[in-house]
Structure 1
Amino acid sequence: MPRLSPDQRQQAIGRLDARQSVQQVVRAVGVNVTTVYRLQQRFHATNSTCDLRRRGRPRVTTAGQDRHLVHQHQRDAFETAANTARNTFGVHGQPVSARTLRRRLGGQNLVNRRPARRPVLTAQHRLDCLARAQQHARWRHRDWRRVLFSDEKRFCLEPGDGRIRIWRRPGQRFANINILQHDRWGGASVMIWGAIGVSLQVGPVVFLNVGQGRGNGVNADRYINQVLLPYVVPFVQRYRNCLFQQDNARPHTARATQDRLRHNSVNILPHPARSPDLNPIEHFWDIMQRRINALARRPRTAAELPAAVTQVWAQVPQQQINHLVLSMHWRCATVINAQGGATRY
């Protein structure tokens, strides 16, 4: 027979108080006679229709041990529950299972998630990033409108971003229909340069003569001839008040590149090493990658990849780009609060 719901219990007690017989209550509620008798006895004994608290299985850990386990995982977030359980013994020396430990951690609002990935930061990296954020903390929208943020990005045919999910039954993880076949290094790729600002975009530029081998990447010569001279210098000559930001990649810091920038009077906004938090174009690349993944017909060959990147670039709303650039005020404030460390950006 099904268990009585709280409303049915109140209804049964109400009928009994109205001097209806147990048989009448049984027919009205639709349960066993014994259920109604026990409900009546419980109500007279406790003045409540709720179930009595059951003792259940005794806990294998004490409250003090529970607090110690939680503090241990808060101190070392990378410690696994299975390893902690192997080194923990409960009441009377009983072993503690990993499942029990996970329940204890979950009871204190600790959940198991993938760690955030950020660049390796030394003390000097943190100081430089903090100094940059403090220097521009008072900049407002009119100041950030002058900045042109630039960067390179490699787009692959098979991105390994971990966002792909499938629906499957238990035990069918390695069924052919559930296997995602991919090249270990992402397959064919294309290197793209681009720059964004408020109400403006420059690019995308597909680097030519760039291969997979050592020395076939983006060097200072390719950066100067394929990006600076045809795109950046004409843009700066048109917008004299513009500040150009680039990261500290070797093609950008090479002596030939720096000489070319000085010769053409390009004003550079310094960018500290390993501080993607302070470059909104990093989020722009993520938006583009998501849109490429969502294409109805994704690129299948290396020849189709540049066209797909150019198509998606043109589809990103300028309003969304403006929002990324004008978030620099909040980015600087967040970096200052983190003392130059990793942030949500």
Structure 2
Amino acid sequence: MVQKVRVITKKQQREVILCLWNEGVCNASEIQRRTSIGLSTIYYNLKKLEKTGDTAQKPGQGRPKKITDIGARVIGQQIRRYPTVSTNDLTLTLLEKGITVSRHTVGRHLHNYGYKNSLPLAVPMLTAKQKQKRVEWAKEHLNNRWKRTLFTDETSFQLFSNTITQWYKGKRPVKPIPKNRQKIHAWGGFSAYGKTSLFCFTGIMDAKYYVRILEEQLPEVREMMGNNWRFQQDNDPKHTSHLAKNFLQENVPAVMDWPSNSPDLNPIENLWALTKRNVEKRQPKNLDELELFMIEEWHEISDEIINNLVRSMKKRCEEIIRVNGERINF
């Protein structure tokens, strides 16, 4: 049985027809059977082969562009000046320049040139003082001993999450989501020497419960890292409470200072995103499955990923300095 060749673009169609022609397959029906290319396209290219010996399209052939080079420049200028401009507004602007096209044509043009239309990513606002502190922190820690740092944080996993994008054609897919989704919280840490186990819990974590987590996890950390390391945490009130400060002062070699409002600096955020994505792919149906999948996917994170994230800290510092303390994307 001859396997059909999957052909998408006009150029690919011409190349496949030429390849089969060179192999001695000159019958239009046979080419159509092997490729599923339309017969009219096959006849056109076979006729071209008989006349010229080639299927290549000459410069200038084909349907003329609806949006001229001038129109493309106008669209680019409008989007740079007014990022929220609509395709209807762009159509009217082009009409003023003597270019008549539909908003659908403008939309296709933007898509072909890599433009996407979506809501801006919402991130916590940074004050001028916070930006300055971030730059100062990055300069101070640019050449730090990141291998001896334990990065920590908490996060939450929900049942029926909806964070994985998917391709679709036509109507947008719908995923039913319960109104009140159940969740499990987790605390974790990692360094160049490995990961802690994942501490899972439900309910609200206060300073007392945070210290309890640390009490349970620190023996494992000491076994992994010895006595020469430092502890990283953000400035959550639970972390900076007197109870937590006193506990850390007595039980860890050093606590690292951390700039406010800076989750983009903490590489554990990348691990959380990876773990959540992998858990969602497994579609847990209840809290027991959710917790099991959380622990399993956290455990499966490779040493290579961890080491790459530790090494990324120098680049994060460099980027913070370069953008004068603004948000960075890692």
TM-score under structure 2 length normalisation: 0.73
Does structure 1 residue 280 correspond to structure 2 residue 267?
yes
> Taking structure 1 as reference, are residues 8 and 341 closer, same or farther at Cα in structure 2, changes over 3 Å only?
farther
Corresponding residue for residue 125 of structure 2: 120
Corresponding residue for residue 300 of structure 2: 315
Map 1:82-121 onto structure 2 (within 5 A): 82-86=88-92, 89-91=95-97, 97-102=102-107, 105=110, 109-114=113-118, 115-121=120-126
- From 246, 250, 270, give the equivalent of 2:237: 250
Distance in 1 of aligned mates of 2:206 and 2:244: 10
Counterpart residue identity of residue 274, structure 2: I
The C-alpha deviation readout for 1:65-103, integer Å capped at 9, x for no partner, is: 6534312211333333234435663246x7653234335
The C-alpha deviation readout for 1:207-241, integer Å capped at 9, x for no partner, is: 25x1xxxxxx221111112x122223773597322
Mapped contact 2:160–2:280 kept (Cα < 8 A):
no
> Taking structure 1 as reference, are residues 75 and 240 closer, same or farther at Cα in structure 2, changes over 3 Å only?
farther
Mapped contact 1:278–1:331 kept (Cα < 8 A):
yes
3-state SS of 1:256 partner: helix
Does structure 1 residue 200 correspond to structure 2 residue 194?
yes
Identity of aligned residues (%): 24
Corresponding residue for residue 180 of structure 1: 175
Does structure 1 residue 326 correspond to structure 2 residue 326?
no
3-state SS of 2:197 partner: strand
Mapped contact 1:61–1:91 kept (Cα < 8 A):
no
> Taking structure 1 as reference, are residues 197 and 90 closer, same or farther at Cα in structure 2, changes over 3 Å only?
same
Map 1:148-163 onto structure 2 (within 5 A): 148-161=150-163, 163=164
Corresponding residue for residue 231 of structure 1: 217
Corresponding residue for residue 139 of structure 2: 134
Q: CA deviation at 1:156?
A: 0.7
Map 1:1-150 onto structure 2 (within 5 A): 2-4=43-45, 7-11=49-53, 50=58, 63=70, 66-86=72-92, 89-91=95-97, 97-102=102-107, 105=110, 109-114=113-118, 115-139=120-144, 143-150=145-152
Distance in 2 of aligned mates of 1:62 and 1:327: 41
> Taking structure 1 as reference, are residues 338 and 145 closer, same or farther at Cα in structure 2, changes over 3 Å only?
same
Deviates more, 1:75-84 or 1:335-344: 75-84
Counterpart residue identity of residue 306, structure 1: E
Distance in 2 of aligned mates of 1:51 and 1:328: 50
Corresponding residue for residue 340 of structure 1: 325
Consecutive unaligned residues of structure 2, counting only runs of 5 or more, are 1-39
The C-alpha deviation readout for 1:105-153, integer Å capped at 9, x for no partner, is: 467x4511544454322322322222222212223xxx11110000001
Corresponding residue for residue 241 of structure 1: 228
Distance in 2 of aligned mates of 1:8 and 1:116: 56
Distance in 2 of aligned mates of 1:292 and 1:239: 32
> Taking structure 1 as reference, are residues 236 and 70 closer, same or farther at Cα in structure 2, changes over 3 Å only?
same
> Taking structure 1 as reference, are residues 271 and 10 closer, same or farther at Cα in structure 2, changes over 3 Å only?
same
Deviates more, 1:253-262 or 1:276-285: 253-262
The C-alpha deviation readout for 1:1-21, integer Å capped at 9, x for no partner, is: 743565433259xxxxxxxxx
Counterpart residue identity of residue 316, structure 2: R
Consecutive unaligned residues of structure 1, counting only runs of 5 or more, are 13-48, 211-216
Counterpart residue identity of residue 232, structure 1: L
Aligned length: 284
Mapped contact 1:220–1:254 kept (Cα < 8 A):
yes
> Taking structure 1 as reference, are residues 83 and 254 closer, same or farther at Cα in structure 2, changes over 3 Å only?
farther
Q: CA deviation at 1:166?
A: 6.0
Q: CA deviation at 1:320?
A: 2.0
> Taking structure 1 as reference, are residues 11 and 152 closer, same or farther at Cα in structure 2, changes over 3 Å only?
closer
Larger C-alpha radius of gyration, 1 or 2?
1
> Taking structure 1 as reference, are residues 240 and 103 closer, same or farther at Cα in structure 2, changes over 3 Å only?
same
Counterpart residue identity of residue 231, structure 1: Q
Counterpart residue identity of residue 123, structure 1: A
Q: CA deviation at 1:51?
A: 8.3
Q: CA deviation at 1:274?
A: 2.4
Q: CA deviation at 1:326?
A: 2.0
Distance in 1 of aligned mates of 2:174 and 2:72: 40
Distance in 2 of aligned mates of 1:179 and 1:235: 43
Mapped contact 1:125–1:273 kept (Cα < 8 A):
yes
Corresponding residue for residue 259 of structure 1: 246
Distance in 1 of aligned mates of 2:89 and 2:326: 29
3-state SS of 1:222 partner: helix
- From 290, 301, 319, give the equivalent of 2:286: 301
3-state SS of 1:145 partner: helix
Distance in 1 of aligned mates of 2:136 and 2:291: 38
